[in-house]
Structure 1
Amino acid sequence: MRDAHAINLSWLLRLRWGAVVGQGGLILLAHLGLGMPLPLLPLFATVGVGAVSNVALGLWSRRPREIREWMLWAVMALDVVLLTVLLDLSGGPFNPFSTLYLVHIALAAVVLHARWTWALVALASACFGTLFVRHLWVPGGASGATHHHINDVPLHLEGMWLAFGVASAFIVYFVQRVTRALAEREAELMAARAVTARNEKLAALATLAAGAAHELSTPLSTIAVVARELERRAELSPAGREDAQLIRQQVARCHDILAQMAADAGASRGEAFVAVTPAVLLERVLEGLRGRERVQVEADGRHGQEQVSLPAGALTHAIRGVVKNALQASPPEGRVRLALVREERGWRLSVEDQGAGMPAEVLARAGEPFFTTKPPGEGMGLGLFLARAVLDQLGGKLELRSVPGQGTRVEMTWPVERLRQFAPLSPEAGEASVQASGA
């Protein structure tokens, strides 16, 4: 992600190329079109200095390096000096294009801090004042000044109008483009902050799961051992033996819940990447899923056997949570549509339900941890949150679209090639996951 100074420099380079072309065109127009006698060689040499400096600056900025604010000021100061030379060679303070000083000052106000902007204002004022000294206040300071087009007042006024238009166009173009680039950078920063916040919440959930698994694994194991010993006692009645078996079954269920909680909280983030086809991935998603007969799968057959390197367990669990949400949101006879499509950069999986949809205020909060509209006991509000966290780690994304009365559409995308590794969990969370699954 580029910083603000790099963005400003890139647009400053484009503006300078526009200035070089515009200066050359105006010189030729004045000399050939309007018949003004101008020193073409010094003028084009000055324009050439600006072009050469822009080429050098462009080559220098291609390599990754830190752009400092004083560098931007130095480029603008060079442009002010070059403008002063051009004006000095073409009429000095009588040249209506002296208003272009304001372009540099306006740009400095946008991209530089106050002290650098005032420094450029001081430089521009000094350069402009030098033109008055040479052409007005010092006799003979600039030869040929009496023959300048100031003697033709209508032409001078027309030049002022043209200079105003050029200055306005440069200011509006540059300010709008820089503002747009900075807004895009701010959006990238906000997205990065959102990903960081989700990862922090995921780490907090992992810590919670680690603590719960660690504290509960030992008493549950003790209960399971005692229940097994009770079953072996001969004096135990059949009803008591059934109760002991029920206790063992419930303890085993608690073990499974702890293992699932550890996986939900991010224990799967340390999972190794394996090669798997999207078709096999969908089969794993639907395997053992209650209500799978209501799921309609539409897969891209042309690329169905293409293998992708990813953490199959984590992604399978993430997609399964989204599909389970869609089944719960749809009426009992409603169907859920899964559409898997191969795109240029990766795969896109769409999950559409036939539920009641979500209003805007609910849609804005969907995906927050522990936010759910389900009845108590049917969900904790972690499915979308964990799915988005897994896709973020893969370099993909999750998007929600919903219209009240028309159902909800969840789109999940992930790249063909893995873009980043999953971050490993803390040793405590990994240990808790092992204890929860093996207790």
Structure 2
Amino acid sequence: METIEADKGPQGPGLKGWRNLPRRSRGLSLRTLIILRWLAITGQSATIAVATLGFHFDLPLLACLTVIAASVAMNLQATRRLKRPDPPVADGGLTAAHLGFDILQLTLLLGLTGGLQNPFCLLLVAPVTVAAASLPARQAIVLGLMVLLATVGLFFWALPLPWQAGTELNLPALYRFGIGLALVTGVVFTAAYAWRVAADAEKLELALATTQDVLQREQRLAALGGLAAAAAHELGTPLATIQIVAKELKRAFPADAAAAEDAALILEQAERCRLILKRLSQRPEDGDALYDDVDLKALLEEVAAPHKGFDLDFRIVVRVADGSPPPRIKRMPEVIHGLSTLVENAADFATREVRLTAAVDAGWIEIEIADDGPGFSPDILPRLGEPYVTSRPQGKARRALAAQIAAAAMPKGARKPRRGRAAPEPEPTTEDLIAPSQGGMGLGFFIARTLLERSGGRVSVGTGAGPKGKPRGARVAIRWSRQALEPMRAGGPDAEVSQGGGETLTAPGSVTT
């Protein structure tokens, strides 16, 4: 079960966080690069046609068309490569090579038409922006340096800017320097912005994929009951046949014969199998009307049960506005896993107590999970809706587990002093048995929130209501409409409810009322 600070991610052991992971960028597909270059060729050709035919500018037409023809030839060659039986897949090196060619082609075209005086020099920003959004940092930086060198070259070398016949436009060197500086600044800031947006999108994509994996695992676990019942049904007939044949064999031999004893053993084991299959067929299965909903109090007990026993008191309260019995709600994997993750996190932070409070009124069901720990830190609280947000390295449950593993691995009697030997070292404390934390990716709260909101709930976080000057703890509240949680029955959502009532208080070792 994931918490806000996962020790190990799916990518490998010892993961320190997403910032230490290499970018998974794979570049652009060859088809996308071809389409982008055709668009550039069309724009360049149209611009030259308008400048020559419309404004009658004196352009070096042959040289410009040669540069554009080189880009056309590059695209035709890429198109032939794409039509092969084994076309190349999206690759960072291939994308960088094509973008580098586009930078060189555009630089030559600008050099023939005025250099930095040409307002279309702004187009040099485009290849670097695409590289920052789709390529690893090293390749994107190389393309950025190419644009920087191209800007310097266009400042010192370029043909005059084409203008109307009989008129020559010469801009001051300081103005051209300003244009070049603005171009470099635009490349840097635009590329940095594209890089940041791509990195955030990549984080979100990975987090959503992890959430989907968690949900699929929960659904598979929920489906195991159905598979067990189906297996029990299919095995029932051959098991009955075995019992009949075993009874016939037992009757066919004297009671003291070895074959009769074997037949009795077969009957005994067949009866044992029958009882096992009966229990399997009685387990909850997905889609069974008897098990597809659960009492609200029982649901809270279920999500809290795995986390009891770590020197914490769990206080479970169910309040119904009109005093009626608590409603039954649909047993959804999203709700169970989301609540379990939040309860586990509260147990890790809590000092003595974790409170689960459910409030039910005519239209809403709200579940609040609170602890008496230090609460959310101010720098974490505004970003709790984002993935990869973590606040501390190791929790109480993890410490207890480390201590149990270390104690189980210790040989029995290993610390008993032998005659003639020195006394053993002092017994290590729980803190001594804890291995250093591996850090975490901080996906637990994001996954829990995503699953709960997928079920129709609205999640809000804040601090508890403790006294000032003392830790007030953390509070997470989830609010659903009753239609989103309660099963639809013939007599309405409240036609079948549990026989419990009012308020339920539960703590380890206490009596449930």
**TM superposition score category, shorter chain reference:** 0.3 to 0.5
Instruction: Looking at secondary structure, tell me which structure has more helix per residue.
Output: 1
Q: TM-score, normalised by structure 2?
A: 0.37
Higher RCO (CA 8 Å, separation ≥ 6 residues): 2
